[in-house]
Amino acid sequence: MLNEIDLSRTDLNLLVLFEIVMEERHVGRSAERLNLSPSAVSHGLGRLRTLLGDPLFLRTPTGVVPTDRATELAAPISEILARVKAVISSVEPFDPARSSRRFTIGAPDGASSVFLWQLLHDLPTLAPRVDICIRQLLPRQGQPVPSFAWSDALADLDSRAIDIAVIPLGDVPARFTTRTLYEEDFVIAMRAGHPLAANPTPANYYASRHLVVSHSGDPHGFVDVALAERGLSRRISLTVPNFMFALAVIAETDLVTAIPRRFAAMHGSRFGVTYVDAPIALPRFDITLVVPKVAMMDAGVAWLVSTLAQFSPSAPASSGERVVTQGTNAASAQ
């Protein structure tokens, strides 16, 4: 613990340096973000090591990795800096009408492509100079436990790589706060005129050639888990990294894919894509806004959370060939 003399001699910028190096895991990139030379960053890390009594970061051929002590200090230091920022920003309160900040929202494109349009519609009036960066998030493929599947998104929030995450995860650690934006499920999408649209029986669905959205290329998805429980399997003919790409591909082929219902209703028609209710029972899930509680002390982040929390999508429109099969429970989480 720092004593009074140590604290009086402590440079707050060293904590800022620590946070940036934790995010970048690279001295050179950290130097660029801080507008410093790499040697100045190295010198600052040396002062931090002396101050905190730990090596903090170990060099590797590709950058640096934090020690266990540095990992333990990451959250407390982020909280300290957030409180300092809140104190400083309170001198001139955040005003969305005048602010020129840029916020980063992480979300799978099946969600961002739904809520983003209302946000973009509102920003010119509410915050004409505020800019938004969307960072695509996808779960770890083959990971059936949601808290593990979306653990990378939570890590991005902890490291401040993103300000807010919008993901299908409601059970989060206590250090986060959440807001449910809407309920979602998955439908089976295909080109207009596809034979499956006219007769979406389970047998016809299993026999189809399938496309899976997977940023890693792993062809195993949530549908395969549901099929395996019935002793069934399907042929995965193609994987693509995002849902928009999926729409473009299925529009020109006989492939079928599971995509979020609201995403299909909003964007399918422009690609000539239709959809049907899933012929197998799959769970529903909530699309949830997740943000670190400490980040809510930032008036700008709190404003963005409030703005997004007002998002209330209307019931998704039905496509012309949408079919509800008997006994179907419309699909859900990917």
At the second CATH level, the architecture of 102-179+286-309 is 3-Layer(aba) Sandwich (3.40)
pLDDT at position 328 is 28
Q: Are 144 and 221 in contact (CB under 8 A)?
A: no
Tell me the pairing of strands 209-213 and 273-277. unpaired
pLDDT at position 314 is 53
CATH number of 186-277: 3.40.190.10
Amino acid at 69: R
One digit per residue, pLDDT tens: the chain, 334 residues? 444 445 556 778 889 999 999 999 999 999 998 889 999 999 999 999 988 889 999 999 999 999 999 999 988 888 888 777 766 665 567 899 999 889 999 999 999 999 998 899 999 999 999 999 999 888 876 666 667 788 899 999 988 889 999 999 888 999 999 999 999 999 999 999 999 999 999 999 989 999 998 877 878 777 888 888 888 889 999 999 899 999 999 999 999 999 999 999 999 999 999 999 999 877 788 999 999 999 998 889 999 999 998 876 654 544 334 333 322 222 233 3
| Cα separation, 184 vs 164, whole angstroms | 19
Tokens of 30: 């950290």
Domain ranges of the chain: 4-89, 102-179+286-309, 186-277
Domain 4-89 has CATH 3.20.20.220: no
Tokens of 161: 């790589």
pLDDT at position 91 is 56
| Cα separation, 162 vs 130, whole angstroms | 16
Q: What is the SS3 assignment for the chain?
A: CCCHHHHHCCCHHHHHHHHHHHHHCCHHHHHHHHCCCHHHHHHHHHHHHHHHCCCCEEEECCEEEECHHHHHHHHHHHHHHHHHHHHHHCCCCCCCCCCCCEEEEEECHHHHHHHHHHHHHHHHHHCCCCEEEEEECCCCCCCCCHHHHCHHHHHHHHCCCCCEEEECCCCCCCCEEEEEEEEECEEEEEECCCHHHHCCCHHHHHHCEEEEECCCCCCCCHHHHHHHCCCCCCEEEEEECCHHHHHHHHCCCCCEEEEEHHHHHHHHHHHCEEEEECCCCCCCEEEEEEEEHHHHHCHHHHHHHHHHHCCCCCCCCCCCCCCCCCCCCCCCCC
230 to each of 106, 233, 252, how far by Cα in Å?
34, 9, 31
pLDDT at position 324 is 32
pLDDT at position 180 is 92
Does 102-179+286-309 match 186-277 in CATH topology? yes
pLDDT at position 88 is 66
pLDDT at position 57 is 94
Q: Are 166 and 289 in contact (CB under 8 A)?
A: yes
pTM (whole model) above 0.85: no
Q: Are 276 and 196 in contact (CB under 8 A)?
A: yes
